[in-house]
């Protein structure tokens, strides 16, 4: 027998969950000014560690540490990349952590890429925008880090530590991190095995 009582209870629960989800994804407003002064720190490794995740071998290429503002976040569930990296973060530092600069940019993510565009004139030189922001693929080292990454919101300032890595599979498939902040386009994203993440 249909119960209106249970129907209305379900509607209330769903409405509350939906509002929570919307609030959790809403960007955090920030006043104008550079939030992150420091540059990412990368130290190349002669003999990096290896990890196994299922059929994938993950090899460390460099120690990596970054403090940055979260510009956007995208979750992935489909594709072999998602077996390793369920979260992409678009991160900005220096001028790309400044709300005044970001207010003149439209930022989005899709298909493992990060996009920005402006109307009329760029708020900073395009080369500076490119070198002070990046889309980074996150390989969480454990379930707790994965949950933290998935809960991040645009506008938060975070500090990540981990390794830039190369991934290989027995069938010859490979996925390798960029090792410079100066590149753009395909292959320019960092692939990070995240060993710690702190919200500042």
pLDDT band at 5 (very low <50, low <70, confident <90, very high): low
Q: What is the C-alpha to C-alpha distance for residues 163 and 4, in angstroms, rounded to an integer?
A: 54
> pLDDT tens digits, residue range 76-88?
999 899 999 999 9
> pLDDT tens digits, residue range 19-33?
433 344 688 988 899
pLDDT band at 166 (very low <50, low <70, confident <90, very high): very high
Q: What is the C-alpha to C-alpha distance for residues 113 and 188, in angstroms, rounded to an integer?
A: 9
The model's pTM is 0.84
In a domain, 3, yes or no: no
Closest CA to 160 of 137, 185, 132, 131: 137
Q: How many domains in the chain?
A: 1
**Contact predicate 89/73, CB 8 Å:** yes
In a domain, 7, yes or no: no
In a domain, 146, yes or no: yes
Closest CA to 97 of 42, 37, 137, 24: 37
Using alpha carbons, list the distances in angstroms from residue 27 to 24, 75, 107, 119: 8, 16, 12, 22
In a domain, 94, yes or no: yes
pLDDT band at 11 (very low <50, low <70, confident <90, very high): very low
In a domain, 78, yes or no: yes
pLDDT of residue 31: 86
In a domain, 11, yes or no: no
In a domain, 144, yes or no: yes
> pLDDT tens digits, residue range 99-152?
999 999 999 998 898 999 999 899 999 999 999 999 999 999 999 999 999 999
> Which range marks the domain in which residue 99 is found?
29-199
Q: What is the C-alpha to C-alpha distance for residues 163 and 176, in angstroms, rounded to an integer?
A: 12
**Contact predicate 74/88, CB 8 Å:** yes
């Amino acid at each position: 027998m249909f119960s209106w009582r249970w129907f209305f209870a379900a509607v209330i629960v769903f409405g509350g969950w939906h509002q929570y989800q919307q609030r959790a994804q809403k960007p955090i407003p920030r006043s104008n000014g550079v939030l992150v002064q420091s540059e990412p720190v990368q130290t190349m490794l002669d003999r990096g560690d290896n990890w196994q995740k299922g059929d994938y071998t993950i090899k460390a290429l460099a120690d990596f540490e970054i403090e940055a503002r979260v510009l956007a976040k995208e979750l992935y569930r489909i594709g072999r990349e998602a077996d390793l990296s369920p979260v992409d973060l678009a991160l900005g530092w220096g001028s790309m952590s400044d709300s005044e600069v970001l207010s003149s940019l439209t930022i989005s993510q899709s298909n493992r890429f990060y996009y920005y565009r402006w109307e009329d004139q760029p708020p900073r030189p395009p080369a500076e925008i490119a070198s002070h922001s990046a889309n980074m693929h996150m390989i969480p080292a454990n379930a707790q880090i994965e949950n933290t990454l998935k809960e991040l919101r645009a506008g938060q300032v975070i500090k990540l530590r981990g390794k830039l890595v190369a991934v290989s599979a027995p069938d010859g498939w490979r996925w390798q991190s960029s090792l410079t902040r100066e590149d753009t386009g395909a292959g320019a994203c960092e692939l990070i095995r995240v060993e710690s993440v702190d919200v500042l």
